[in-house]
């Protein structure tokens, strides 16, 4: 594979996940087998990302902003253009959150290597009555620098079952 082909592969979403998984897998297995612990930086980054994910339950964009760097790059899902910066994040995500009845993210597992945090989650976006609820199994990739999330990309899990349903209107 030429250097240019390798660079294009690693920059693709699948290439990034595959390369990250191949690099992380043996290291994570060896660390747990050897009884090694996370560094203080890794523990802090995992805690930051975990709390950020849990705080989506508030459905309040202003509670999420403090976790994010001014120059955030966020891709909501594959094939969607990146949101760049806090203004775009607010403009896209704020109204979405306001239209929901509840948000629940089940964090199944989390790994970190330095400034990179990867989590496996099931995201539940529960609509108001008559609206469309969505449930997505997700692999989230976060890069944390200086205590702020600078890069965040969510990926569908192969074989995962996305679910959408219409919430029943309130009786009345």
CA 29 to each of CA 14, 24, 35, 37, 114: distance values in angstroms, whole numbers, following the listed order: 22, 8, 10, 12, 16
Active site residues: 123, 154
The backbone torsions φ and ψ at residue 12, rounded to the nearest 5 degrees and listed phi first, read -75, 155
In a 3-state reduction of DSSP, which class is residue 171?
coil
C-alpha separations of 35 from 28, 38, 101, 157 in Å:
10, 10, 43, 29
């Amino acid at each position: 594979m030429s250097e240019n082909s390798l660079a294009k592969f690693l920059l693709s979403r699948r290439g990034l996940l595959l390369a990250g998984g191949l690099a992380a897998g043996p290291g994570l297995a060896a660390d747990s087998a050897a009884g090694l612990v996370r560094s203080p930086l890794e523990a802090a980054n995992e805690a930051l990302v975990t709390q950020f994910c849990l705080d989506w339950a508030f459905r309040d964009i202003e509670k999420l902003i403090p976790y994010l760097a001014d120059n955030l790059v966020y891709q909501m899902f594959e094939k969607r253009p990146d949101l760049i910066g806090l203004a775009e994040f607010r403009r896209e995500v704020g109204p979405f959150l306001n239209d929901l009845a509840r948000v629940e993210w089940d964090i199944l597992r989390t790994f970190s290597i330095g400034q990179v945090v990867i989590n496996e989650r099931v995201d539940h976006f529960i609509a108001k009555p008559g609206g469309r609820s969505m449930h997505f199994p997700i692999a989230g990739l976060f890069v944390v620098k200086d205590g702020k999330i600078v890069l965040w990309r969510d990926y569908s899990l192969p074989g995962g079952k996305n679910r959408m349903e219409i919430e029943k209107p309130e009786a009345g």
